[in-house]
Structure formats: C-alpha cells, structure tokens
Amino acid sequence: MIISQTSGVPIYQQIADSFRSDILEGRVKEGDYLPSIRGLARDLKISVITTMKAYEQLAEEGLVTAVQGKGYVVNAQDGNMLKEQHMRKVEEGLMQAITSARIAGMTEKELVDTLKVLLTLKEN
C-alpha cells in the first residue's frame, strides 16, 4: 500500500480506498483478516487513530466486521453491491472524461467516437 502525504486526500481515506478496491476487486476475499491496526500503523509510520478511522469507515460501509480480539474480517460481498460499486467508478471516470473533453473543446460526437475506439482497442 502506498500512502502519499502530499496528495490532498486524508491518509485514512487513502487507506480505506485501497482496502475497498482490494475487497471489491477480489484481491482480499471473504473471511480474510485485514492487517492489525497497530501493525499497519507501524508499517505505514502513521497514527493508530488514523488506521482505526479507515477501518471504521470500511465497517460502516459493511465491507468488514470487527471481531473481538482478532481484528477486522472481510464480509461476504453481495454481487449486486459489487456491480453498483463498479458502476459508480465508471460513472466517476466518465464524468472526469466529459469535463476534460469540454475543456479540450471536443464535441459530443468526438467524445463518443473516442470511447468507441477505446472500447474496440480493449477488446483486441
């Protein structure tokens, strides 16, 4: 996990985002335990409170559950929730692309054509 002190994104949010991606993309599976709060804080050279805040955020989202004396375990992921999470990422990416296209002065047709070309390249 890479944490940036200068990104403008709070460290706890970077940690939560990283674990969220790992969980939703299947790199961390149901029943796996996240690293201990103290261990992760030590490894990243950050406060235990910062790590705790990230884990609590993931717990609030229902991605993990605190297990007394053992740490945080990854919950089973609902397929519909996973799809919704990925759709939200796609929407965010497309909104950024639309904003960039407007700044660049692209027409709607140019933007759609560019997307079609990129989709074709990805298939090959």
Q: Which two tokens stand for residue 97?
A: 């692309």
- Span 40-69, average pLDDT: 94
91 pLDDT above the threshold of 80 = yes
Which pLDDT band holds residue 123 (cuts at 50, 70, 90)? low
Buried b (16+ CB within 10 A) or exposed e, 40-65: bbeebebeeebbbbbbbbbeeeebbe
Percent of the chain topping pLDDT 90: 65
pTM reported for the whole predicted model: 0.66
Domain locations in the chain as residue ranges: 11-74, 79-123
Q: Is residue 7 a contact partner of residue 14, using CB atoms and an 8 Å limit?
A: yes
**pLDDT digit string (tens) for 63-88?**
999 999 999 999 987 667 767 877 88
What is the CATH architecture assignment of 11-74? Orthogonal Bundle (1.10)
